[in-house]
Amino acid sequence: MTRNRLFWPAAVLAVLLVANLAFTPDFFAVRLQGGHLYGSLIDILHFGAPLILVSLGMTLVIATGGIDLSVGSTVAIAGALACLHISESTDPGGLGTVLTALGIALGAAVLLGAVNGLLVARAGVQPIIATLILMVAGRGVAQLITDGQIITVTSDPYKLIGGGYWLTVPFAVLLAAAVVLAAVLLTRSTALGLLLESVGGNPVASRLVGIRATRLIALVYVFSALCAALAGLMVSSNVSAADGNNAGLWIELDAILAVVLGGTSLNGGRFSIGGTVLGALIIQTLATTVYTIGVPPETTLVFKAFVVIAVCLVQSPVFRAKLAARGSRVRRTTDRPYVAAPTDREVGA
């Protein structure tokens, strides 16, 4: 069981959840109020939905041996474009206005992802450099769109995306689950997942067998940008505002960490979507735990860093093997029978 890729992420998540019971006895309580489900577990799923989406796109990018540092900027740009269109519309609460705003945001994400994909796949720019360009420039573009201000909107249809409920469950959770399910079906029920793993695991061999790696790499960057745009719509919708400076800030680092915690190697090749979802939930649960136990804000990041290091060590097969080997050596030493030192008479004899 411990050799299963999902065992350790699931075990760590379970430990974090159970640990909250010491500070919040009703942590696992879920209640139905006004036709909506409420509770700490629902909050973790709700606020973790944007990170799950961003991490999902990051997983496929990393599977091809790349990295996408521009997802945070894409989150900000998508939210800014959508809120700008709604705020300037004469009918901000109209369904047509909201659908147009969504189309603009997602269309811009496709363009941003295509730029990243072409730079990496066609121009041969290293992924970390290609996406770092958009990470820096995109944040500036988001602030240009918002004119350096926070754009607020009042639109019930738009509020549904990140802050609304459907069938008693937060709509953001259902949307994230639908995207994850679609990604699983595409990568595990078709040859797409195998092709992505082959491109990331051995690009030379994949090229020799006729796999069009350039097209696949470009597509995963577009998919990553679309996931980030959906996350940006959730974030801006939840607060009914777009902040070009802070929206999605450093979410790319949490996404990379979620992918690693889920068991996907940064070297590319085999990936685990289920592990990534668990990794994102671990990070969100950790953030909830920090607020629950009352860790001072100025030490939050330090506390989070120590916990993340501990989680990574627990998941590391090399660390566990060394720990087990050291434990076995200690047991052999303690189990060795005691032999008294010879006396001077025995030595002389």
Residue indicated by tokens 């996408």: 68
pLDDT (tens digit, 9 = 90+) per residue, 142-176?
999 999 899 999 999 999 999 999 989 999 999 99
User: In this structure, are residues 77 and 144 in contact, taking their beta carbons and an 8 Å threshold?
Assistant: no
**Where does 100-239 show beta strands of DSSP type E?**
150-152, 165-166, 169-170
Q: Helices H, strands E: what count in the chain?
A: 15, 6
Query: Which helix (DSSP H) or strand (DSSP E) does residue 270 occupy?
Result: none
Work out the pLDDT band at 300, boundaries 50, 70, 90: confident
Work out the pLDDT band at 337, boundaries 50, 70, 90: low
Q: Which is nearest to 55 in space by CA: 303, 286, 280, 241?
A: 280
Work out the pLDDT band at 225, boundaries 50, 70, 90: very high
Sequence-separated (6 or more) residues with CB below 8 Å from residue 196:
60, 63, 64, 187, 216, 220, 271
pLDDT (tens digit, 9 = 90+) per residue, 253-269?
999 999 988 888 888 88
pLDDT (tens digit, 9 = 90+) per residue, 6-57?
888 899 899 989 988 888 888 899 999 888 999 999 999 999 999 999 999 9
* Whether residue 111 has pLDDT greater than 60: yes
Here the contacts of 157-161 (C-beta below 8 Å, separation 24 or greater) are 157/93, 157/94, 157/95, 157/98, 158/82, 158/86, 158/92, 158/98, 158/101, 158/237, 158/240, 159/237, 159/240, 160/237, 161/233, 161/234, 161/237
pLDDT at residue 48, rounded to an integer: 95
* Whether residue 319 has pLDDT greater than 70: yes
Q: What is the dihedral of CA 118, 223, 227, 147, to 10 degrees?
A: 30
Work out the pLDDT band at 80, boundaries 50, 70, 90: very high
Q: Which is nearest to 73 in space by CA: 45, 121, 115, 126?
A: 115
Least confident of 206-215, 229-238, 292-301: 292-301
> May I ask the CATH class of domain 19-294?
mainly alpha
242, burial (CB in 10 Å: exposed 0-12, middle 13-18, buried 19+): buried
Give 166's strand partners.
169
Give the whole-angstrom CA distance, residue 67 versus residue 296: 33
pTM: 0.89
